[in-house]
Structure 1
Amino acid sequence: MNENLRLLKPFFRGFPIIILVMFLAVLSAKKYLNYVTPMYESTAKLKLADTEEGVPSANLFKDLDVFATANKIATEIEVLKSSKLMGKTIAELPFNKEIYRKGDMLTVELFGNSPITIEGTFQSEKALDKRYGLDVISKKEYQFFYPDSKTGISGKFGKPLKIKEGTLLIGLNEPYLESKNDAKIIDKYEFEFLSNQKILAKIDKDLDIVSVDKDVPVIRINLKSNVPEKAALFVNKLAEMYIKDYIESKFKAANTTVDFLKEEINNSNKKLSASENNIQDFRDTKKIVNIRQETETDLRKISQLKIEQTNIKMNLDAIKELNRYIASGKKNYLDLAPNFEAFTDLLSTEMVKNMKKLQADKKDLLLTYTPEEEKVKIIDAKLKDLIDYQIESIKNTEKSLQTKYNGLSNDITEFEKVFIGLPEKEKELTILNREFNLYETNYNFLNSKRIDAEIARSAKIAFHKIITPAEISKTPVSPIRSIIIVVAAILGMFGSIILIYLVHFAKAKVNDEFTIEKNSTIPIALTTPFIKLKEKTKDNFLKEAIQMELKGMIQEKAILVISSYDKAADHLFHSKNLANAFKNQGRKVLVIDATTQLEGDFDTQDYLNFAHPKYLSHTKSVFQNEIQEKMKNYDLCVIHNQSIKEDKLALLFMSLATQNLIVLDSRKTAEKTIINMELIKDEFQLPNVWFVLNKAGYNPSVFAEIKNLWNKYINKTNS
């Protein structure tokens, strides 16, 4: 905490200077603000159409604005900055001419409030971008000046004035003068006709187009200008021209697209018709109605024939097997047990029943008659007829089934001939159909886009819109008076503080006890405060005499040498007052003066002057013997030494001392003196060296020091 206070002392000491510098800085800032040209800013916000959200996302409006896309904000910002769009904008604004009222310190542009009007026609662009001068002499006459010209050309209001590369017509702004009765006409003016390149350069320097947020399709257009009306006019017109240009571009694109689509539709229609004719010719040539249906029908017929053939084949195989079985046992036909599942007609079944009945009847007759009996033979004859008929019937059935089987095989073979060359037909028809579908899809797509483009061409609307139009700014954005003044005050404050500390560290004075203790091992005996009132001097030094006694510095017959490094006057105050303090304590004090500065301040019997040049030749032992001789009748000897820097007798007296007091002035003594004394003490082996800090804790104001310097200067001048 003490260290912080020590560092703050220069600040508190120089506080009046800080206040003064801050005051001057604020005055300078205000003076600067009176002459600086203020800049005004106007802002317009433009919302871009977003096909994903909001009104444009509806299908109806998507159709109306077929070319609307999810706008890339950065791309649209570049469109707004494009020279083409900027050129269209400035073409509709009165920015090609600037008129200024010229003052001694400040030139102000007059926009819409000029008492004069200036029109010009030029044969060459060399006349543009030049600042011409105009001195209005009266309400009828004026003086025209070329740039950097001291000689004027006389002219009259309302009459053309021929100049290099053009003609000017200068007149009075009657509507403005009628509205402003106190308008000042007679004055100095300047005017300039600007080329498009210079207008664009001036605008581009102060134009800022940014997005509100990377995910929000809103663009902020800012422009700074010394004329607030100009800033508001330009940003509003730029946003308006952006929307207008978008609509025009959309209409041109839609119109061009419609024409292109119509031509493409005609070409696509011809190709589609040719493709339809190719399919028809191929079907007629190949006799194709529907390949798929015809193929499915033929496959179904072949499948049915094959099923029928399989059934007949099964029956045929069964009949053949039956026929072979009967043929193998023809002589014993009635003993056979054939499987007649393959021969199941009703007649055969009935014949088998009859044969079984005749066989039973024969068995009954054989019980009575012999085989030769006529009745038995008749039965045998009947059986034989039935058996022969049955065998023949089976053979005929086999032949019939074989014929059917062969017929079905022939039919299947004939139907299968239909599929010969079918893949090639399908391939060719697929190619023709694919070509037709391609042309048909293209034709339908082009017609759909043509309808969309015609709708877009008819709907001259855009979903970009100005959500916040720019307004004429009432307060400038730069310079901001409050900030400039505050910054000037802060800079003045910090500048003065830095200067104060630079001076403080450059002077490098002793300042306080901490500085002494930091730079030396020599102890501090006394710290004498700055004493403003003389009546307090006695009490202070009595207190210091007691402190020295308590510290064991004052002994019987002690020799106290008081010195300083630069000037003997720096320790005169302590020499005189310490000697008096010891006398006031009742001690007999011998005062030895090595400078004559104490002459007349003490009784002659107690005062000894060693300042005479004759003492320069004395040795240490001579001084020592003389002092000891004088000290026989005294308790204490106080020597007011010379300055150590002069180095004549100062070190000699210090070597004789019982106690050496080195007075350091906190406001005058340089910090390096402490180190020098440390070196001197070690080099010359000086006994019992102590520091005395004079004006301890004294931190006078700068104004007080200035006053003291001024008083010294006056006194020196008077003397």
Structure 2
Amino acid sequence: MQQTNNIVRSQEADESLFQQLISKYLPYWPIFLIALIVGAGVAFAYISYATPIYEADATLIIKDEKKGNEDSKMMESLDQISSKKIVENEIEVIQSRKLMSDVINKLGLYAPIIEKAEIKTSSAYLTSPVSIRVQMPESITGTNEIKLNFDRNNNSVIINDSFKYPLNQIVVTPFGQMAFLENKNYQKSNKPTKQLYFSLINPKYLVPSFLSNLKAEASSKLSSIVNLSYRDEVPKRAEDILNQLIDSYKQLEINEKDILAKNTLAFVEDRLNIVSHDLDSIEKKVQQYKSARGAVDISTQGQLYLQNVSANDQKLSDVNTQLSVLQQVDKFVTSKENTSGIVPSTLGVSDPMLSQLMDKLYTSELEYEKLRKTVGENNPTLVAIRDQINKIKPNILQNIRSQEQSLMATKQNISATNGNYSSMLQGVPQKERQLLDISREQQIKSNIYSFLLQKREESELAYASTVSNNRVVDYAQASPSPVSPKVLLIYLFSILSFMGLCFAFVAIRESLSGKVLYRNEIESRTSIPIIGEVAFDKSKTPVVIETGKRSFVAEEFRKLRISLSFLGINSNHKKILVTSSISGEGKSFIAANLAVSLSLTGKKVVLVDLDLNNPTIAKILNVNQEDGITEYLTGHKDPEEIIKRVKAHENLFFISSGSLPENPTELLVNGKIKEIMDYLDNIFDVIIVDTSPIVLVTDAYILSELCDATLYVVRHKYTPKILIKRIDESAKINPINNPAIIFNGVKMRGFFKNNYGYGYDYVYGNRDKKNQKSIIKS
């Protein structure tokens, strides 16, 4: 049950807040309508003159084994020099300044051509019949808006109406060496030709702006697919930039592979030349030995020795080869100048751990060189890779030392074995033994030569098969419609901006007002109930209630008349005091019209003007003000002498204030006021007393004790809010009897000039700037 009550309260609070917002801003609907029209007009003007931006998209697949993208076995066998890649690193390379600068240079974007119209300037990438290429783009100092004309008859261009140059030739101009080429993207149009201009901009100043329009990101964390997009005012240029970027990225990878393969092949060729020279010398030595000594056949024991020693020598050769390779690797790792990225081959080394460490070192150094071109020296990723390289090198050196010790031990064992064979064959003739030595050396060199020939072929195959590991899924394609400006978003933003200004204007305008504008402002500042609201009456008639007359204000007084029962006004409790905070809130207007309204019901009503400081009831009723309550209080008149019938209103009687005394408050406390109130209580059905403002004088506190109810008048857009808050504070010290508030002079706010608003939380206001004075100011 409690939860249901909370839901109901929440709904009521939401409805109340919604009603407040609607009633607060709805009266200003013409301003919001104007803001809507202006906002839509501004958005339309912006869209009309804004340059549309198109977006081109392309897709790449990066070879990343960790994410499941591997080459075929055939490609793996041919490609011996490829390195592992990380998609995130490749994205940084794609977005590097070096690649974008290459794109700018190859497409000639450093020399943009524009066409000028009366209103705006647009790119002539597709409408210019010529394009411009500069011999040394890096030397451009910067020149803006050089006038360009194309002479179709002579197939030449004219610069600044002074210099004429032929097409497709390198010419010397006042702005440097350049060539004017036929624009391959030229699209002939039937529209009037506009004046062309071109500028020369150094590519390094263009790179940041071009990179800001480029976006490269992986399609997902587990995918090696990279989505590329570029935004430009010319869709064809956006496509060309993306396609050239892809080509430059692929060519960069191929160039790196070519350099590595070329250096590896050069290393193998050097070794082949050395071994070939040694082998040729040995063969000549064998020939000379056989010719000189006549050593042709060897014994069976010699053949067995040769076979065993040959096998041992082959092992010894392998050991020496491995030691040589290890020395090359040791020299490469310990050298501080190994920045070229060329890692010596570990062919012949049987330990797979060393190959893995060298591959890891090569991959790390290659990543380090790539990343160093795109980021600063202190980049965290670059520092991490450099630390990884520094950790790999000690492991490689430790592995080399371990293998060298093992190989040296193996070499000693083989040498010892060969020594045993030699001692066993001491009986072999010297000639045969010398021939065997020469043949053994020849066999060793021949095996090494065959091994190097095989590796040369492998290197040449790898060099010939250097292709990019990356694959293009989709080449660039521009969107058919512009992605910017977004029409709906701009209209929405513009309209909401102007509407927001209107909301802010109304809110600030009314928040700065210190006067009472809303009924809820009264209810939030005092606990005294509001029993009635009286709308502002534009007519200058002080009495708005007459027999047979129907009006909105008159109906409100009739409602107020009925509401008096809420305060307990009846035949036994009939005295009503009317007061306010300050002068001008309309208490006399309320008192007079309430009295007239009650008299129309047939009740005998007396209206007493006890405002002894500034009485106005007599003027409202158009009666004589002489001989009133002052004369009674001073003892100069009896009650019968001061009570006067109002001729215009049957059953209505009036007691004026009389002459204004010098000490009105002292007259009210002399005891006679209670006597006349009791006297009137016995004669009349209703007694209405109009007194002075309660904040200015204390008369109301004195009279409130003698009355059954107190009507406190608050006037819209007139009564200060701070005075409403003081009602309860003052009541703690000087309480007033049975109080109730009447919200008087309620005006419609904004542009609703001819209607009235009524109801709880309804917002009232007046934008009428004319200084119209009304009788209700009392």
Contact 2:100–2:211 (8 Å) recurs in 1:
no
Q: Alignment partner of 2:112: what SS?
A: strand
Amino acid at match of 1:10: Q
Q: CA deviation at 1:135?
A: 10
Q: Does 1:624 align with 2:673?
A: yes
Q: Corresponding residue for 1:643? A: 693
Q: Corresponding residue for 2:88? A: 74
**CA separation of 1:460/1:200 partners in 2, compared to 1, >3 Å: closer, same or farther?**
same
Q: CA deviation at 1:688?
A: 3.0
**CA separation of 1:64/1:47 partners in 2, compared to 1, >3 Å: closer, same or farther?**
same
Q: CA deviation at 1:437?
A: 12
Query: 1:107 aligned to 108, 114, 121, which one?
Result: 121
Q: Does 1:471 align with 2:471?
A: no
Aligned partners of 1:705, 1:445: CA distance in 2, in Å? Answer: 106
Aligned partners of 2:658, 2:140: CA distance in 1, in Å? Answer: 90
Q: Corresponding residue for 1:47? A: 61
Q: Does 1:221 align with 2:212?
A: no
Q: CA deviation at 1:481?
A: 1.8
Percent of aligned positions that are identical: 19
Q: Alignment partner of 1:246: what SS?
A: helix
Equivalences for 1:125-524 in 2 at 5 Å? 128-132=141-145, 134=147, 155-156=161-162, 158=164, 179-185=188-194, 191-267=198-274, 290=308, 425-426=416-417, 446-459=452-465, 461-493=467-499, 496-497=502-503, 500-501=506-507, 506-507=512-513, 516-522=522-528, 524=529
Query: 2:43 aligned to 18, 25, 29, which one?
Result: 29
Q: Corresponding residue for 1:660? A: 710
Contact 1:556–1:636 (8 Å) recurs in 2:
no
Q: Corresponding residue for 2:751? A: 703
**CA separation of 1:120/1:626 partners in 2, compared to 1, >3 Å: closer, same or farther?**
farther
Amino acid at match of 2:88: A
Aligned partners of 1:640, 1:237: CA distance in 2, in Å? Answer: 92
Q: Corresponding residue for 2:726? A: 676
Q: CA deviation at 1:18?
A: 4.7
Q: CA deviation at 1:96?
A: 1.9
Q: Does 1:10 align with 2:10?
A: no
Query: 2:533 aligned to 498, 507, 528, which one?
Result: 528
Q: Corresponding residue for 1:577? A: 593
Q: Corresponding residue for 1:95? A: 109
Q: CA deviation at 1:672?
A: 2.9
Q: Alignment partner of 2:592: what SS?
A: helix
Q: Corresponding residue for 1:553? A: 569
Aligned partners of 2:133, 2:224: CA distance in 1, in Å? Answer: 43
In structure 1, the gaps of 5 or more residues are 141-152, 294-421
Q: Corresponding residue for 2:100? A: 86
Aligned partners of 1:598, 1:442: CA distance in 2, in Å? Answer: 136
**CA separation of 1:439/1:663 partners in 2, compared to 1, >3 Å: closer, same or farther?**
farther
Report the TM-score when normalising by structure 1: 0.64
Q: Alignment partner of 1:37: what SS?
A: coil
Q: Corresponding residue for 2:656? A: 609
**CA separation of 1:514/1:205 partners in 2, compared to 1, >3 Å: closer, same or farther?**
closer
Equivalences for 1:533-548 in 2 at 5 Å? 534-535=550-551, 537-538=553-554, 540-548=556-564
Contact 2:69–2:224 (8 Å) recurs in 1:
no
Aligned partners of 2:536, 2:118: CA distance in 1, in Å? Answer: 57
Aligned partners of 2:58, 2:723: CA distance in 1, in Å? Answer: 70
Q: Corresponding residue for 2:330? A: none
Contact 2:567–2:738 (8 Å) recurs in 1:
no
Aligned partners of 1:583, 1:629: CA distance in 2, in Å? Answer: 20
Amino acid at match of 1:426: T
Query: 2:770 aligned to 696, 713, 717, which one?
Result: 713
Q: CA deviation at 1:471?
A: 1.9
Bigger Rg, which one: 1
Q: Alignment partner of 2:476: what SS?
A: coil
Q: CA deviation at 1:95?
A: 0.8
**CA separation of 1:43/1:538 partners in 2, compared to 1, >3 Å: closer, same or farther?**
closer
Q: Corresponding residue for 2:8? A: none
Aligned partners of 1:92, 1:507: CA distance in 2, in Å? Answer: 67
Q: CA deviation at 1:74?
A: 2.5
Q: CA deviation at 1:248?
A: 3.9
Aligned partners of 2:178, 2:275: CA distance in 1, in Å? Answer: 63
**CA separation of 1:531/1:182 partners in 2, compared to 1, >3 Å: closer, same or farther?**
same
Contact 2:309–2:421 (8 Å) recurs in 1:
no
The number of equivalent residue pairs is: 564
**CA separation of 1:629/1:288 partners in 2, compared to 1, >3 Å: closer, same or farther?**
closer
Contact 1:126–1:165 (8 Å) recurs in 2:
no
Aligned partners of 1:191, 1:78: CA distance in 2, in Å? Answer: 32
User: Deviation per CA, 1:341-363, whole angstroms, max 9, x where unpaired?
Assistant: xxxxxxxxxxxxxxxxxxxxxxx
User: Deviation per CA, 1:519-549, whole angstroms, max 9, x where unpaired?
Assistant: 3343x26133659994355555345334424
Aligned partners of 1:123, 1:456: CA distance in 2, in Å? Answer: 35
Alignment RMSD, CA only? 5.2
Aligned partners of 2:688, 2:218: CA distance in 1, in Å? Answer: 87
Contact 1:232–1:471 (8 Å) recurs in 2:
yes
In structure 2, the gaps of 5 or more residues are 1-10, 154-158, 286-297, 312-412, 423-436, 538-548, 625-643, 645-652, 756-764, 774-778
Q: Alignment partner of 2:575: what SS?
A: strand
**CA separation of 1:630/1:54 partners in 2, compared to 1, >3 Å: closer, same or farther?**
closer
Q: Corresponding residue for 1:596? A: 616
Aligned partners of 1:224, 1:175: CA distance in 2, in Å? Answer: 18
**CA separation of 1:464/1:3 partners in 2, compared to 1, >3 Å: closer, same or farther?**
closer
Q: CA deviation at 1:197?
A: 0.9
User: Deviation per CA, 1:63-117, whole angstroms, max 9, x where unpaired?
Assistant: 34333344322232233334443333322213121233446664323222148x6
**CA separation of 1:613/1:572 partners in 2, compared to 1, >3 Å: closer, same or farther?**
closer
Q: Alignment partner of 1:470: what SS?
A: strand
Contact 1:40–1:226 (8 Å) recurs in 2:
yes
Aligned partners of 2:602, 2:417: CA distance in 1, in Å? Answer: 147
Amino acid at match of 1:450: R
User: Deviation per CA, 1:611-642, whole angstroms, max 9, x where unpaired?
Assistant: 85436546213572684487264343212334
State which drifts further: 666-675 or 58-67. 666-675
Contact 1:49–1:68 (8 Å) recurs in 2:
no
Contact 1:592–1:639 (8 Å) recurs in 2:
yes
**CA separation of 1:486/1:600 partners in 2, compared to 1, >3 Å: closer, same or farther?**
closer
Q: Alignment partner of 1:599: what SS?
A: helix
Q: CA deviation at 1:236?
A: 0.5
Q: Corresponding residue for 2:331? A: none
User: Deviation per CA, 1:549-578, whole angstroms, max 9, x where unpaired?
Assistant: 464234558432212224434334432232
Aligned partners of 2:444, 2:587: CA distance in 1, in Å? Answer: 117
Contact 2:239–2:476 (8 Å) recurs in 1:
yes
Aligned partners of 1:80, 1:430: CA distance in 2, in Å? Answer: 64
Of Structure 1 and Structure 2, the greater helix share is in 1
Q: Alignment partner of 1:244: what SS?
A: helix
User: Deviation per CA, 1:462-508, whole angstroms, max 9, x where unpaired?
Assistant: 45332211123333333322222223344555565565555555547
Q: CA deviation at 1:662?
A: 0.6
Amino acid at match of 1:452: E
Contact 2:110–2:137 (8 Å) recurs in 1:
no
Q: Alignment partner of 1:704: what SS?
A: coil
Amino acid at match of 1:2: E
Contact 1:39–1:225 (8 Å) recurs in 2:
yes
Q: CA deviation at 1:423?
A: 11
Aligned partners of 1:511, 1:78: CA distance in 2, in Å? Answer: 62
